[in-house]
Amino acid sequence: MPSASFTPSWDVHRLPRAEGSVFLITGGNAGIGYFIAEQLSTTGATVVLGSRDPAKAEAAMASIRSRVPDAHVRAVRLDLADLRSLSTAAESLAVERLDAVVHNAGVALDDPPRRETQDGHELMFGTNHLGHFALTARLMPLLSAAPAARIVTVGSFAAKSERLDLDDLQSRRDYRPKRTYGRSKLAQMYFGLELDRRLRALGSPAASVVVHPGGALDSLTPSRPPVHVRTTTARLRAAPAALLVQGKHAGAWPAVRAVLDPAVRGGQLWGPRLFSLRGAPRCEAVWSHLTDTAVAARLWDAGRDLTGVDPGNPRG
């Protein structure tokens, strides 16, 4: 799909209204997920934070309400590392339809040893990819009930230089934390694009869009105590980096646009405008390795076998 040009009329600070819509953000209590939730709350939509930690979710909701007094925000307990819990999480939404889900939550480990989820999957692949794969299946009845739902998958610029090893998806033979993290996010991006192909084949009105935040640093992110506190020292040290990268509030912009902008189409990749690292969101060319549909299909089959569900089924 060709890249669309940057559209100046889209203003990240003046978002369109979305009253009556319901949006779920996984990992909405911290980092980029928090800012996606905060920004979407300004539209009048109901924003649901999916979070493993109720206390952190409460702190995030309090922070959002302090900045958006009329925010309609609530939380559900969501643990993507526990596949059996996802049906309960979907039911706890207690809504008739879901207009968008943003697959943002993720685990990033810096050091060995290799760890596993409750289901026996490598922690980063199991949480970042398999958890969202299974969650999508559980949410599909609610997404199918919306007139034009969006499934927005948040990838990572770190995935651009990675390639999947389809014979070692669980990193049993070759576990290097940063590589395993990058591959888990790459798997998610393959999933988002393959999901859209399958939705199109079914004639579904839902659309799946992949985004990435570019370079998003805590040190360039405005404070939202107690969710995030930026010290003056950190801000000053990071000032030179602002020429190339940005804060997590700006890293949220591609996902927010993918949820709200009717011009966004399924199967697209959205990221920051400047060198794919910073700036306003734009549609960019899908990375060449992500166009390999054979890899995407094999990954889909593996996800289905490992989770026991199929997100390509509109009935979940």
- What is the spatial distance between Cα 100 and Cα 311, in angstroms, rounded to a whole number? 15
Q: Is the dihedral of CA 220, 36, 132, 265 positive or negative?
A: negative
Residue 23: closest CA among 104, 81, 86, 88: 104
Q: Output the six-digit token pair for 295.
A: 């890899």
Q: Phi first, then psi: what are they for 261, rounded to 5°?
A: -80, 115
Under 8 Å between Cβ of 204 and 196: no
SS3 call for 249: helix
Cα–Cα distance measured from residue 48 to residue 61, given in angstroms and rounded to the nearest whole number: 10
Q: Is 181 a catalytic residue?
A: yes
For every residue of 221-239, DSSP letters joined together read SPPBTTTB---HHHHHHHG
Round to whole Å and give the CA distance between 176 and 235: 31
Residue 113 identity: P
| Whole-angstrom distance, CA of residue 72 vs CA of residue 91 | 19
What residues are annotated to the active site?
181
